[in-house]
């Protein structure tokens, strides 16, 4: 790789690098030549991911015909619930170009109904902590005038349903927050991409029956959709694509009918 090429290699920070989706995106980005910074809370799981991606980065470099022996993958251990640590984390990562948010929890809805603390914890992880990191990163990117924020929310945030409205509320709030950020950062040349996946076969959904199978996607398929949308400068992407139409219908069912359904 020539020096000029090296200077143009983008750096991507994966926030939630031990997630199945984060790993799939990291594998595809490193294959495309990105430098990576991987962040997650579990040090031993993160080490496994870093080792895997480091090996792949060497293979990707060789595939591209370079004599370099791979790119060093940086990593940072952080529990994103700890908002008091966010300034320090952002100081470590803010020099990168692209920030990809992949962490989250899928709370047990009946437990959230019985116990406010469970709902509050889900809101904190899925919305408050992400909004805190996004606020800090947005200020850096706005000042610099380039970069991107890629944030995974969910189709569950498009309409409240009894089966998962606590998770849906947190993801819906995050989608709205990203919409406002996008409006604010557009004039600064910063891309904010909201990703709304439907069902993905990952550890998060291991307890859910995978039927009908046609509605389920692999982490690799969703990762490819996200990277494609990012490259094309999109604002919002549903993955797989058909969820856009499913949610269009769901959003347009009148409330007096919708409230009696069991979706
Ligand atoms: N799977 C789906 O059907 C689906 C659908 C729509 C949206 N999503 C969203 O897609 C994203 C990726 O999820 P996934 O499906 O790939 O699930 P996953 O493999 O279970 O990943 C969830 C990740 O979140 C991390 N995490 C949770 N709380 C954290 C905290 N406080 N600090 C740091 N990391 C934390 C977990 O870390 P540990 O490894 O340490 O536990 C784990 O790596 C999530 O935002 C999820 O809400 C998933």
Is-contact 190 173, C-beta < 8 A?
A: no
Q: What is the DSSP code (8-state) at residue 46?
A: H
pLDDT, tens only, 54-82: 998 886 655 554 444 456 799 999 999 99
- Nearest CA owner, ligand 1 atom 43: 19
pTM: predicted TM-score of the whole model, two decimal places = 0.95
Q: Which residues contact 223 (CB under 8 A, 6 or more apart)?
A: 21, 24, 25, 27, 28
Question: Whose Cα sits closest to atom 12 in ligand 1?
Answer: 102
CB 223 within 8 A of CB 25: yes
| Inter-CA distances, 45 with 23, 27, 87, 131, 218, Å | 11, 16, 24, 25, 21
Which of the following CATH numbers is that of domain 3-258: 3.10.20.600, 3.50.50.60, 3.40.50.720, 3.30.1490.20? 3.40.50.720
- pLDDT per residue over 3-61, tens digit each? 444 557 899 999 999 999 999 999 999 999 899 999 999 999 999 999 999 998 886 65
Nearest C-alpha to atom 27 of ligand 1 is from which residue? 104
Atom of ligand 1 nearest to the CA of 167: 47
CB 9 within 8 A of CB 61: no
* 130 CA to centre of ligand 1 in angstroms: 12
What are the structural domain ranges in the chain? 3-258
Element (H, E) at 257: helix 255-258
Question: Ligand 1 centre from 200 Cα, in Å?
Answer: 11
Distance 249 CA to ligand 1 centre (A): 27
Q: How far is the CA of 195 from the centre of ligand 1 (A)?
A: 14
CA–centroid distance, residue 78 to ligand 1 (Å): 14
Convert the pLDDT of each residue in 163-186 to its tens digit.
Answer: 999 999 999 999 999 999 999 999
């Amino acid at each position: 790789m020539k020096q000029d090429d090296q200077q143009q290699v983008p750096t991507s920070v994966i926030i939630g690098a031990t997630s199945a989706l984060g790993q799939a995106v990291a594998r595809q980005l490193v294959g495309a030549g990105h430098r990576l910074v991987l962040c997650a809370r579990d040090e031993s799981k993160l080490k496994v991911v870093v080792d895997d991606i480091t090996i792949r980065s060497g293979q990707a470099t060789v595939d591209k015909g370079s004599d370099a022996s791979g790119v060093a993958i940086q990593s940072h251990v952080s529990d994103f619930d700890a908002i008091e640590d966010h300034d320090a984390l952002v100081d470590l990562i803010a020099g990168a170009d692209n920030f990809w948010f992949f962490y989250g929890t899928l709370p047990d809805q009946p437990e959230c109904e019985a116990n406010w603390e469970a709902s509050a914890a889900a809101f904190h992880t899925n919305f408050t902590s992400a909004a805190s990191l996004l606020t800090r990163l947005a200020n850096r990117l706005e000042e610099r005038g380039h970069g991107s924020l890629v944030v995974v929310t969910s189709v569950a945030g498009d309409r409240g349903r009894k089966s998962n409205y606590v998770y849906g509320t947190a993801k819906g709030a995050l989608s709205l927050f990203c919409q406002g950020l996008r409006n604010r950062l557009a004039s600064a040349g910063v891309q904010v991409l909201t990703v709304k996946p439907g069902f993905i076969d990952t550890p998060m959904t291991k307890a859910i029956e995978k039927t009908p199978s046609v509605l389920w996607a692999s982490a690799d398929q969703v990762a490819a959709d996200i990277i494609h949308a990012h490259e094309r400068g999109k604002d919002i992407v549903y993955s797989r694509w058909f969820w856009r139409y499913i949610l269009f219908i769901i959003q347009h069912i009148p409330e007096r009918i919708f409230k009696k359904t069991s979706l």
